[in-house]
Amino acid sequence: MRKSTPETYLGMIKEFMGSINKAIPMFVLAGGFGTRLRTVVSDVPKPLAPVGSKPFLFYLIRNWIEQGVREFIFLLHYEADQIISYLDNSEFKLLITDLKISYIVEPEPLGTGGAVKYALEQCNVDGEFLVTNADTWLSTGIQLLMDSPAPSIATVVVPDVSRYGEVQVKEGLIESFSEKRDSCEEGHISAGMYLLCGDPFFQCDEAKFSIETVILPKLISIQKLRAVSLECDFIDIGIPEDYQSFCKSVRS
């Protein structure tokens, strides 16, 4: 048997990574005001909420990189200068040579759909792209989503859907999104990460609109929106309790 060398292992790793990574950029929605978190994080925008000695965004980017994403386009508005300063000095750029991090600042709040449409108009992105929130933690599952045909959304099962609204799935397709309700039941919810393409955004005449209320319902109506169910840790740090829960998990 031929003896393996460190160079052999390095080649195997590069070959493996090359085989699993699709060149799909990720749009990161990071322009919100984060009003629900202001009681505990008031001096920085939500993505920069401190978790130990690092901002929450550090853990997000590291996790996304570990799952194979190499191009990030941050969509900014509120306190954009602070996030830009962090991104421009990101330690990841020094560690990973093929990493691309850029940002686009909205002239005014455009909503999640309007922000993506504006970004598509500003940059050269063809084909599929990921969209995710800068306040949501998914421990794994990006590769499963990227391997699914667009349009698809990631879903997770939570013990209480009342805070989020439930996703109804049939034979792998999204049938509907239920409104938030008082009853506490287990069920599927949107995990806040999508694999999409540009056509539905350019077909919308409005400048300000929401992915959740405009784009997704249109895709559901023509039975095109697939569900990719993930079994992973899911945390939305948008409220103090969950933010503190994430901080505790990092400390432990």
With respect to residue 176, please indicate whether it lies within any of the assigned structural domains.
yes
Tokens of 103: 């940002």
Asked if residue 1 belongs to a domain, the reply is no
* Enclosing domain of residue 81: 6-251
For residue 183, the model assigns a pLDDT of 65
Confidence of residue 6 (pLDDT cuts 50, 70, 90): very low
In a domain, 92, yes or no: yes
**Does 77 fall in a domain?**
yes
Predicted pLDDT at 2? 42
Residue 35, domain member (yes or no): yes
pTM comes to 0.87
- Domain CATH number, residue 223: 3.90.550.10
Q: Are 215 and 150 in contact (CB under 8 A)?
A: no
pLDDT the model gives residue 9: 38
Indicate whether 84 belongs to any domain: yes
pLDDT of residue 15: 43
Bridge partners, 167 (sequence order): 177
Give me the percent of the chain exceeding a pLDDT of 90. 69
Number of compact structural domains in the chain: 1
Sign of the Cα torsion 104, 114, 161, 78 reads positive
What is the Cα–Cα distance from 5 to 7, expressed in whole angstroms?
A: 5
Q: Is residue 80 part of a domain?
A: yes
What does the pLDDT look like over 162-171, one tens digit per residue?
888 899 999 9
Note the pLDDT of residue 16: 43
Average pLDDT over residues 198-209: 96
Q: Is the pLDDT assigned to residue 249 strictly greater than 50?
A: yes
139-181 per-position pLDDT tens digit: 999 999 999 999 999 999 999 888 888 999 999 999 998 877 6
